[in-house]
């Protein structure tokens, strides 16, 4: 694809693009017209495009601020689509501050806003909307499965799919319109449009499948597993043991109440927040307790999975076991073997002891399997957010109008196909282009 260069931004933007300092290297990125026409004083002259070179980096006053590797990218070969400079500075706070301060003082230069390099990349046609979304997800990805999904989207998998579908609709419409305009010509069989309806029906089914698939979105957002059970069942002990094993992304979820234990962890590549509603159940005052119970129930009903933890000693009532998706018998270490036999009939999915660690492997892999089954990247998922689903719904409705009303005039059905194609065009942010005649002439050799 021929890249458009320099979309006319006057301002040159800059930012520290790597992580916090101090660090081994700090990358400052500069993008805009000032790179070519304003930074000769900084580097002596502009280095050859896309070749890393060691240079002194000078302030506007001529002082050497650092001596480091720099790369210049001409606009046709840069991320943003504009002339870009990367300064791979020594990652000390004073070095970075000196360079950023110097850039800020240059005329036409200013600090970049969040996402501004990428916004310029999109404006310059380097990335489309779904690719931008994928990049945002890639930066946010916490787990391996999220990383794979985001990378695939950033590299255009979803765009490719939307555009392929859109092409198919445009082509179908071309056939249908050809039937209208050229039905008396020999090249075009009179029933030519009939052939397309079958494949359009299959396309519609594809849309329906993708609309109903939640996997990619769940993977992107993470799952919520709620732990239920009576006080002192060992719920928080169990969560702590699981969390320690999965130390990778264990964090306190911000904004939670003191009483509610929430731990976010990586289970089978899927980010899962484990929520212990125990504190709420144990609240003291009646009103508060009721409100707590209400919240606990609301949380449980919204959960992707509920796990009941019931102590296997004194298990006289069923205490929520029946309603939960998974029932775990806790404190298995306190059982003697006779009690164990008795409990085998109680319908626990598994028995654990958080104290000795018995059964914890099985619990962990069971939860990981459930997380994977609910949210794992299927390899073809493209609906990673509601925007995609809304677009697909719109396309599906329009396509349905074309398919379900054979009694309508062909012009009306063709118009419905156009609306479906336009909707898909919005997925990538590409303007709806009328490629219709191109397709007709290419496929039909009209005028021979």
Residue whose CB is nearest to ligand GDP in the complex, by number: 234
Largest CA distance in the chain: 91
Q: How far is the CB of 329 from ligand GDP (least distance, A)?
A: 10
Query: CA-CA distance, 38 to 55, in Å (whole number)?
Result: 16
Q: Which is nearer to ligand GDP, 163 or 233 (CB)?
A: 233
Q: How far is the CB of 292 from ligand GDP (least distance, A)?
A: 14
Q: Which is nearer to ligand GDP, 32 or 359 (CB)?
A: 359
Q: Which is nearer to ligand GDP, 16 or 332 (CB)?
A: 332
Quick check: 137 and 157 in contact, CB under 8 A?
Answer: no
Backbone angles phi, psi at 172, to 5 degrees: -60, -45
Q: How far is the CB of 285 from ligand GDP (least distance, A)?
A: 19
Q: Which is nearer to ligand GDP, 235 or 264 (CB)?
A: 235
Query: CA-CA distance, 223 to 10, in Å (whole number)?
Result: 44
Q: How far is the CB of 227 from ligand GDP (least distance, A)?
A: 8
Contact partners, residue 333, CB within 8 Å, separation at least 6? 353, 355, 356, 358
CA distances to 66, 300, 324, 326 from 295, rounded to whole Å, are 57, 8, 17, 20
Query: CA-CA distance, 139 to 147, in Å (whole number)?
Result: 9
Q: How far is the CB of 344 from ligand GDP (least distance, A)?
A: 18
- The 3-state DSSP class for residue 346 equals coil
Q: How far is the CB of 98 from ligand GDP (least distance, A)?
A: 53
Q: Which is nearer to ligand GDP, 220 or 235 (CB)?
A: 235
Positions touching ligand GDP (CB under 6 A) are: 229, 231-237, 278, 330-331, 333-334, 353-355
DSSP state letter for 226: E
Q: Which is nearer to ligand GDP, 69 or 350 (CB)?
A: 350
Enter the tokens of residue 69: 């590797």
Q: How far is the CB of 366 from ligand GDP (least distance, A)?
A: 17
CA distances to 33, 45, 176, 367, 426 from 422, rounded to whole Å, are 35, 47, 17, 42, 7
Q: Which is nearer to ligand GDP, 313 or 397 (CB)?
A: 313
């Amino acid at each position: 694809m021929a890249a458009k260069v320099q979309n006319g931004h006057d301002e040159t933007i800059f930012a520290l693009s790597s992580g916090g300092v101090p660090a081994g290297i700090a990358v400052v990125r500069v993008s805009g017209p000032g790179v070519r026409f304003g930074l000769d004083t900084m580097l002596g002259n502009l280095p050859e495009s896309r070749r890393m070179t060691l240079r002194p980096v000078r302030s506007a006053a001529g002082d050497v601020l650092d001596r480091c590797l720099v790369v210049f990218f001409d606009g046709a070969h840069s991320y943003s689509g504009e002339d870009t400079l990367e300064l791979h500075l020594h990652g000390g706070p004073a070095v970075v501050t000196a360079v950023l301060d110097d850039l800020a003082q240059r005329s036409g230069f200013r600090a970049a806003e969040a996402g501004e390099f990428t916004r310029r990349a999109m404006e310059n046609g380097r990335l489309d909307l779904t690719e931008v979304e994928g990049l945002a997800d890639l930066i946010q990805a916490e787990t391996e499965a999220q990383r794979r999904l985001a990378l695939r989207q950033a590299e255009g998998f979803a765009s490719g799919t939307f555009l392929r579908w859109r092409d198919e609709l445009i082509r179908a419409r071309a056939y249908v319109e050809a039937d209208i305009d050229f039905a008396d010509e020999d090249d075009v069989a009179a029933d030519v449009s009939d052939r397309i309806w079958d494949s359009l029906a299959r396309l519609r089914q594809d849309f329906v499948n993708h609309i109903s698939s939640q996997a990619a979105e769940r993977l992107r957002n993470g799952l919520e597993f709620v732990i239920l059970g009576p006080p002192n069942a060992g719920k928080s002990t169990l969560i702590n043991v699981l969390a320690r094993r999965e130390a990778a992304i264990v964090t306190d979820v911000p904004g939670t109440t003191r009483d509610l234990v929430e731990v976010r962890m990586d289970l089978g590549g899927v980010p899962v927040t484990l929520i212990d509603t125990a504190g709420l159940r144990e609240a003291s005052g009646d009103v508060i307790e009721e409100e707590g119970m209400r919240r606990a129930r609301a949380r449980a009903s919204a959960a992707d999975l509920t796990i009941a933890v019931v102590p296997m000693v004194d298990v006289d009532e069923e205490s929520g076991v029946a309603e939960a998706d998974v029932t775990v018998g806790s404190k298995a270490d306190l059982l003697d073997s006779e009690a164990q036999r008795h409990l085998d009939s109680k319908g626990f999915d598994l028995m654990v002891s958080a104290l000795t660690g018995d059964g914890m492997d099985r619990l962990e892999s069971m939860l990981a399997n459930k997380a994977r089954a609910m949210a794992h990247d299927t390899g073809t998922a493209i609906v990673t957010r509601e925007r995609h689903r809304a677009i697909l719904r719109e396309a599906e409705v329009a396509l349905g109008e074309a398919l379900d009303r054979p009694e309508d005039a062909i012009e009306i059905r063709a118009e419905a196909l156009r609306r479906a194609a336009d909707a898909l065009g919005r997925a990538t942010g590409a303007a709806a282009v009328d490629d219709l005649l191109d397709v007709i002439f290419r496929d039909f050799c009209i005028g021979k």
